[in-house]
Amino acid sequence: MKKLASTLPNMLISLGTITIAAGALLGWVYTVTKEPIEQQAMQQQVAAISAVAPKFDNNPETDRWETEVNGVPVTVYPAMMGDRLVGAAVKAASFNGFAGEIVVMCGFDADGTVRDYQVLSQAETPGLGSKMQEWFRDPAGARSVIGKNPASTSFYVSKDTGGEIDAITAATISSRAFLEIMRTAFESYRQYASTHGLDMATASGSDANSGASQQNKDTEKVKEEKKTEISDANSGASEHHGDKDHKEGKHKKKKDKLHYRESHRNENR
Amino acid sequence: MEKYWKIFYNGIIPGNPVFVLLLGMCATLGTTSSAMNGLMMGVATAAVLVCSNLVISLIKNLVPDKVRIPAFIVVIATFVTVLQLVVNAWMPALNASLGIFIPLIVVNCILLGRAEAFASKNGIVASLLDGLGAGIGFTFALVLLGASRELLGTGRLFGATIYPEDYGMLLFVLAPGAFIALGYLIAIVNKIRKVS
């Protein structure tokens, strides 16, 4: 067959046919893949929720509650047992990392103790900031956030004043963003509980904590100290709802804890 | 038979898209932070390359010369979009690790290069083999680059630890390391080609 000459009608017909054929093919593939793609996204979501949240018998996806903190959308997926709130998975994000958006699914026990977390997406520097998925569950030093409660532990990097979480080596900016997400998630969870008339303190904090300390036996000592603190802080918070008392108590404790950590660190060395 | 073998082999070493032609640098440098990523990107590109070469050699006489570039790009973009949708639907792990680089296959010069230089002038079988050869060559180069970056940067190879990560040179996982590693690999490949 001879090649078509480059006349205007030829060009129009040829290019037109090709684009129409391409469009038809794409349309067909789109309809075929539409459902699997949606299912895939749904599955990932559900997997992430059940990985971090305590056992639940409701459908967190349909019970979800959306809010916005500082212009970033936050979704709370409550975990219920019967009509009792046993915890939640909270999806929160931050743009304050080193590169792009960081999205984390944070899991909380009923009293707000961090149960687990999963980094859903991030574009931090490989080998530095990208370590966040492993780093903040490492029991070494004060890296781990698991088993700690943002109400009683200061979720800031230890470089910043009052911070009680160790930042990732050479990735302080990523660490700050991660902890910011944790704080946002915790605040949203607290908001959710208060706006829905659910009591955060019902499920005993000690239950959750003993579970966590079984996970990291090395840090049992630290955890035990935390346990008492958490219950203190909770009773304080629920009785007063006043910031002043709460803060004062917190301040005192922080001093003690800092002292404790110093000695603990020296032991390690 | 020998003619076909030559066409196929040309894309792997003598006309390797990355080491010799220096085409598709964006995807090459961007996705090769590990050997596995390089392999997956290579296979994805090879799949599109084979399909587009095949279709373009089929329609080469129906496309007037003056509109051939847009026509080829439409064909390539269609296959890339199909690939993206399929990966999205059934291969979530691949989608998570390659992400934005899959749509960027469209602008990979190897595809238009092979379409323009080979498929638009040759028969179906030859074009198919040419696409396969260039695709395998591209995959080979990406795996080699990804493996050396992963090994030097993190001490792992295809995810298996070779030596402790603490001794790795992080630079090689980052963008500048990609340029350095690619430069050395091109030098080595050139040396081998001259000797043989």
Looking at the predicted complex, does its ipTM rise above 0.90?
Answer: no
pLDDT at A159 over 50: yes
Contact A37 B86 (CB under 8 A): no
Q: Would B52 be classed as within a structural domain? A: yes
Distance from CA of B107 to the nearest CA of A (A): 17
Share of chain A above pLDDT 90, in %: 10
Nearest to A33 among B88, B153, B154 (CB): B88
The mean-pLDDT minimum among A237-251, B40-54, B122-136 falls in A237-251
Mutation site for B-interface testing, chosen from A7, A10, A29 by largest number of B Cβ within 10 Å:
A29
Q: Would B163 be classed as within a structural domain? A: no
pLDDT at A200: 67
Q: Using CB atoms and an 8 Å cut-off, which of residues 101-160 of chain A contact chain B?
A: 125-128
Instruction: State chain B's mean pLDDT as an integer.
Output: 89
What is the arithmetic mean of pLDDT over A21-49?
89
pLDDT at B137: 94
Phi, psi of B140 (to 5 degrees): -55, -45
Spatial separation of the C-alpha atoms in residues A106 and B130, rounded to whole Å: 50
Q: What is the DSSP string of B84-147?
A: HHHHHHH-HHHHHHHGGGTGGGGG-HHHHHHIIIIITTS-HHHHHHHHHHHHHHHHHHHHHHHH
Q: Would B86 be classed as within a structural domain? A: yes
pLDDT band at B53 (very low <50, low <70, confident <90, very high): very high
Contact A6 B85 (CB under 8 A): no
Q: What is the DSSP string of A71-105?
A: TEEEEEEEEEETTEEEEEEEEEEES-SSSS-EEEE
Contact A11 B33 (CB under 8 A): no
Q: Would B122 be classed as within a structural domain? A: yes
How many domains are contained in chain B?
1
Contact A14 B77 (CB under 8 A): no
pLDDT band at B134 (very low <50, low <70, confident <90, very high): very high
A18 lies within 8 A of chain B by CB: yes
Of B141, B152, B52, the residue nearest B105 (C-alpha): B52
What is the arithmetic mean of pLDDT over A113-139?
83
B90 lies within 8 A of chain A by CB: yes
Q: Using CB atoms and an 8 Å cut-off, which of residues 36-75 of chain A contact chain B?
A: 36-37, 40, 44
pLDDT at A1: 60
Q: Would B65 be classed as within a structural domain? A: yes
Element (H, E) at A177: helix A172-195
Using CA atoms, how far residue A63 sits from A47, A153, A160, in Å, is 16, 29, 37
A169 lies within 8 A of chain B by CB: no
Q: Would B78 be classed as within a structural domain? A: yes
pLDDT single digits (tens) B72-131: 999 999 999 999 999 888 888 788 777 778 888 888 888 898 898 898 888 899 999 999
pLDDT at B132: 93
pLDDT at A244: 43
pLDDT at A225: 43
What range defines the domain where residue B123 resides? Answer: 2-146
Distance from CA of B10 to the nearest CA of A (A): 27
pLDDT single digits (tens) A220-247: 444 444 444 444 444 444 444 444 444 4
Share of chain B above pLDDT 90, in %: 38
pLDDT at A245: 43
Specify the pTM.
Answer: 0.69
Nearest to B71 among A3, A7, A18 (CB): A18
The mean-pLDDT minimum among A123-137, A214-228, B138-152 falls in A214-228
Nearest to B174 among A18, A22, A126 (CB): A126
Contact A3 B61 (CB under 8 A): yes
pLDDT at A214: 39
Of A36, A61, A58, the residue nearest A49 (C-alpha): A61
Distance from CA of A121 to the nearest CA of B (A): 9
pLDDT at B174 over 70: yes
pLDDT at B73: 92
Q: Would B162 be classed as within a structural domain? A: no
pLDDT single digits (tens) A193-206: 888 777 665 544 44
Mutation site for A-interface testing, chosen from B59, B65, B67, B124 by largest number of A Cβ within 10 Å:
B67
Instruction: State chain A's mean pLDDT as an integer.
Output: 75
Contact B85 A33 (CB under 8 A): yes
pLDDT band at B144 (very low <50, low <70, confident <90, very high): very high
Q: Would B44 be classed as within a structural domain? A: yes
